Amino acid sequence: MPQMNLVQAVNSALDVMLGRDPSVVVMGEDVGYFGGVFRCTEGLQRKYGEHRVIDTPIAEGGIVAAAIGMGVNGLRPVAEIQFADYVYPAFDQIVSELARLRYRTAGEFSAAVTVRMPCGGGIRGGQTHSQSPEGIFTHVCGIKVVMPSNPYDAKGLLVSSIEDDDPVIFFEPKRIYNGPFDGDWHKPAVPWSTHSKGDVPAGHYTVPLCRAEIVRTGADVTILAYGTMVHVAEAAVRLAGVDAEIIDLRTLVPLDTDTMCSSVCKTGRCVIVHEATRFSGFGAELSATVQEECFWHLLAPIQRVTGWDTPYPHAFEWEYFPGPARIAAAIKTVMEAS
């Protein structure tokens, strides 16, 4: 089985779907000749041509609007937003048009559009290249929201997203594009590195868009995480020395409440981790769900470990970034509460 990092897994998913389904097209800024700023689309335009892998103007609203038109007419466009920070000019198209198309036409029309975008920090990108806006999109009815944490899931989830008949927002944590950095979260990211690869099948396979994964079983505390934070949580558990169960949510909408609540009912304690800002972040929804479903099983108040409620800083990135020490401190808090 081939070894791939997350960049290569995304590339492989796009390659498989372009070859498998003639209705699939890839579009975005620099995705063709240049191969994408992170090289996720490298070589695809040479292989499939300029009409299947399309370089677009720097106009995110136009990219998504064109993708919607393609989707309504039977294509399956995969639109790349170069950084998640740049999606806001396309927000109206996504929320007012793409997400509501099936509902407003009583099921007569739909648009199988996948919008890919690198998200999160840890690469010294500053405030305009490090945002994690996933919580905003989980609030919008009519779209699915996905964020993988490893190469195998990235490919399988992306294939599932492209094959899905409803729109999907597909976040790719750029900090782990080239591997989880072996727990050294203060180490600068090395672009195009090939270390920390995982086993990824070369051909077609899918990972369901509705199922979380238990990446570490445990009995003391449940940690709910997704994307980069899955790896940081693993490092934190080693630091804290507790028997923690780590749940990788993988898909935020639809959310696998059964898996996460079953775990919390077993352990009686819950720590929620995400990189986005705390106030109204997706962790608030997770916390509310756990409180509603698991209240009588909780032995301690739920803890959230998140980014700060500030613009993403450049000079103080590692104070903002939820590192192992902050998560370990939250674990200690819930363990000592009872």
By annotation, the residues acting in catalysis are 129
Instruction: Evaluate whether 197 touches 4 at the Cβ level (below 8 Å).
Output: yes
Report the distance separating Cα 217 and Cα 263, nearest Å. 9
Report the distance separating Cα 97 and Cα 80, nearest Å. 18
Residue with the two structure tokens 């698991």: 294
Q: How many CA atoms lie within 13 A of 93 on its CB side?
A: 20
Residue with the two structure tokens 């791939």: 4
Report the distance separating Cα 87 and Cα 81, nearest Å. 6
Contacts of 284 (CB under 8 A, 6+ apart): 304
Report the distance separating Cα 179 and Cα 192, nearest Å. 10
Helix 282-294 to helix 257-267 angle (10° resolution) is 60
Instruction: Evaluate whether 259 touches 226 at the Cβ level (below 8 Å).
Output: no
Contacts of 44 (CB under 8 A, 6+ apart): 11, 14, 15, 18, 26, 31, 32, 35, 52, 53
Q: Which residue type occupies 39?
A: R
Element of type H or E holding 243: none
Exposed, middle or buried: residue 196 (CB in 10 Å: 0-12, 13-18, 19+)?
Answer: middle
